[in-house]
A and B are shown apart, each in its own frame.
Chain A
Amino acid sequence: MLMQQVVSGLALGSVYALVALGFIIIYKATDVLNFAQGDMMMFGAYVNYALLVSGVLPVPLVILATLVSGVILGFLIERAIVRPMLGKPLFATVLVTMGVGICLRAVAGTIWGHQYKAVPEILSITPINLAFGLVISPFHLTIIIVSLGLVALLSLFFNFTRLGTAMRAVARHQLAAFLMGIRVRRIFSINWMISGLIGALGGMLIGPLTFLSPDLGFIGLNAFPAAIIGGFGSVPGAVVGGLILGVSENIAGGYLPEGVKNVFPWTVLIVVLMIRPEGFFGLYEEKKV
């Protein structure tokens, strides 16, 4: 039973890891905490749902279209709302992202209604047997593989391509990046598009794990403690943070009174920060201006 909770916790946790990475990518480059990240995920889940229900596109195209919609959403938010805030106090920008999140929730509620909806299943949930009598559904397994796969891909992208290196350079020293002739605003835009893609993928994966509602974004917010536990900055940190949260939340849900499950991520966050304030992978790094 315990191990079973762990296995399904890993699925939830890898979605957290994914969304946490979305937070981190924007934060590292632009210093903006994007509180709309969870709602971007929610929006992706709805787009995915709508396309599946309408049945006009075959499933692979639905997946592709959802991902593209995420990229476009990220692009639009950056271009229309965040970019004009450049040079304004950071605090204001962060509040604006909160506003964006609320708007997305309202838009989703207007289009798709506020009642819970179940996402059609693409993948079978018939469990397959793992070793030691553990079972996992292909669906959970896919979530784990796809999220961690994307995390690995992004990590390769950041470390081994020129554009990825430039994005790290922008995150490290923005003004110096300007002096390299790097078009920093364009990099910001790419950061938001990647986060949008991550949001849409997270939405697609998490949708079937729970029911759809405009409040799904709050689950995405659980990725926030995941990012902090991981040290808010590193890719492996996000993965470890996400998995710890997903597993511990699931175990709490299984063994502790009802209601504890929802606050558990934040409880874990407080405990971890009391023991290790910089997070698991965090370095006390000075961010030079």
Chain B
Amino acid sequence: MLRVESIETFYGKLKVLVGVSLELKAGQLVAVIGANGAGKSTLLRTIMGITPAEYGTIEFLGRRIEEEDPDEITRLGISMVPEGRWIFTDLTVQENLDMGAFTRSDREGIREDFERVYSMFPALRARARQRAGLLSGGEQQMLAIGRGLMSRPKLLMLDEPSLGLSPILVREIFRIIKSIHQQGTPILLVEQNMAISMTIASYAYVMETGRMRLSGVPEKILADEDVREFYLGEGKGKYVSRKDRWKGKM
């Protein structure tokens, strides 16, 4: 349903995405893994039209979207939960969710979805009438995800949902992401946390310095020696000594 074809995105003269391609089929949860600065967030921002691609094509549900504005892309059915959450801090929790449903006008359905989000995140129900700025980091992440669901997206894109959360909260959030996927929403997940992402992904890409380095099903990714060494801290330098790699000796 989403096909990204060799896109290149620049920040000024700096090329951040170098011929990146990606495909997400209906019903999949695709994870894009990479370190800080690999270009993962830029990839999502480019799909959303926030930092438009200079070259390449993006196709969503058979329609070219690389020239569209973010508000139009949202209306086409992609919902992005950005890194840093971007919640509306001086609106209440309830108002934030309502803004997530801004493109819809079916009051009955919106009410059902409030209920759905609140039962998914009970912590939010208790704070429905409070200003969202008063929420804790974990609750803000929950609110951001809940708000992203309120538009009933055809594709949900999550940018680093684990960022800044405690390990317990990370597990909780990933459990919920998994259940959202199982309930039928395709997800494009961008993460640094390789280990936990591989437990829920149906397909994965590894990104390095603006390029797709590796792709495949999680089993294949996890079997890769480099991935084991660099992302999971296993391998103990058997494959190639870390020191030598830094010195450029392969």
Residues of A in contact with B (beta carbons under 8 Å apart): 162, 165-166, 168-169, 172-173, 175-184, 285, 288
Taking CB atoms, residues of chain B closer than 8 Å to A177 are: 99
Going nearest first, the 8 A-B pairs with the smallest beta carbon separation are A181-B74, A176-B86, A181-B103, A178-B70, A172-B88, A169-B88, A181-B75, A180-B102
B89, A172: Cβ atoms closer than 8 Å: yes
> Is there an interface contact between A179 and B82, defined as CB atoms closer than 8 Å?
yes
Which residues of the other chain, B, contact A175 by a CB distance below 8 angstroms?
50, 70, 82, 86
Partner of B100 from the list A172, A178, A180, A288 (CB cut-off 8 Å) is A180
Contact with A along B169-182 (1 / 0, CB 8 A): 00000000000000
The CA of A173 and the CA of B48, in the complex, are separated in Å by 16
The 5 sampled A-B contact pairs (Cβ below 8 Å) are: A162-B102, A165-B98, A168-B88, A176-B88, A177-B99
Q: Is B151 an interface residue (CB 8 A)?
A: yes
Residues of B with C-beta under 8 A to A179: 48, 70, 74, 79-80, 82, 86
Give the shortest distance, in Å, between A119 (CB) and chain B (any CB). 40
A181 to B151, Cβ gap below 8 A?
yes
B91 pairs with A172, CB closer than 8 A = yes
Q: How far is the CA of A176 from the CA of B98 in the complex (A)?
A: 13
Q: Which of chain B's residues 167-207 have a Cβ closer than 8 Å to chain A?
A: none
CB under 8 Å from chain A, chain B span 86-106: 86-91, 95, 98-100, 102-103
Q: Cβ of B112 < 8 Å from any Cβ of A?
A: no
**B-side interface residues toward A, CB under 8 Å?**
48, 50, 69-71, 74-75, 79-80, 82, 86-91, 95, 98-100, 102-103, 147, 151
Question: Once the chains are docked, how many angstroms separate the CA of A238 from the CA of B71?
Answer: 32
User: For residue A163, which residue of chain B has the nearest CB?
Assistant: B102
CB pair A169–B99 under 8 Å, yes or no, is yes
Q: Beyond A165-B95, A175-B50, A176-B82, is A181–B102 a contact (Cβ under 8 Å)? A: yes
Q: How far is the CA of A97 from the CA of B112 in the complex (A)?
A: 45
Expressed in whole angstroms, the Cα–Cα distance for A178 and B51 within the complex equals 13
Give the CA-CA distance A16 to B21 in the complex, in Å.
Answer: 57
CA distance A173 to B90 in the complex (A): 10
Residues on the B chain within 8 Å of A182, using CB:
71, 99, 102
Chain B residue, CB-CB nearest to A283: B90
Q: Which residues of A contact B99 (CB under 8 A)?
A: 165-166, 169, 177, 180, 182
Please give the distance in Å from B85's CB to the nearest CB on chain A.
Answer: 9
Return the chain B residue nearest A186 by Cβ: B71
Q: A177–B80 Cα gap in the complex (Å)? A: 11
Closest to A183 in B: B71
A176 touches B151 (CB 8 A): no
- Knowing A176-B82, A176-B86, A181-B103, the reply to whether A169 touches B71 (Cβ < 8 A) is no
Task: Check if A181 sits within 8 Å of B86, measured CB to CB.
Answer: no
Q: How far is the CB of A174 from chain B (nearest CB, A)?
A: 10
**In the complex, chain B residues whose CB is within 8 Å of the CB of A166:** 99, 102
Return the contact of B88 from the options A173, A178, A183, A184 (Cβ within 8 A): A173
Min CB gap B217→A, angstroms: 30
* CB <8 Å contact, B90 and A178: no
- Could you say which residues of chain A place their CB within 8 Å of the CB of B74? 178-181
Most B CB atoms within 10 A — which of A165, A178, A180, A285? A180
Q: Which residues of B contact A169 (CB under 8 A)?
A: 88, 91, 95, 99
Instruction: Please name all residues of chain B whose beta carbon is closer than 8 Å to the beta carbon of A173 when the two chains form the complex.
Output: 86-89
Chain B nearest CB: distance from A256 CB in Å? 40
Residues of A within 8 A of B75 (CB): 181
With the chains together, A180 CA to B98 CA distance in Å? 10
Nearest CB in chain B to that of A182: its residue = B102
**A267, B229: Cα distance in complex, Å:** 67
B151 proximity list for chain A (CB < 8 A): 180-181
Shortest C-beta distance, B74 to chain A (Å), equals 4
Residues of A within 8 A of B88 (CB): 168-169, 172-173, 176
Complexed CA–CA distance, A181 and B71 (Å): 4
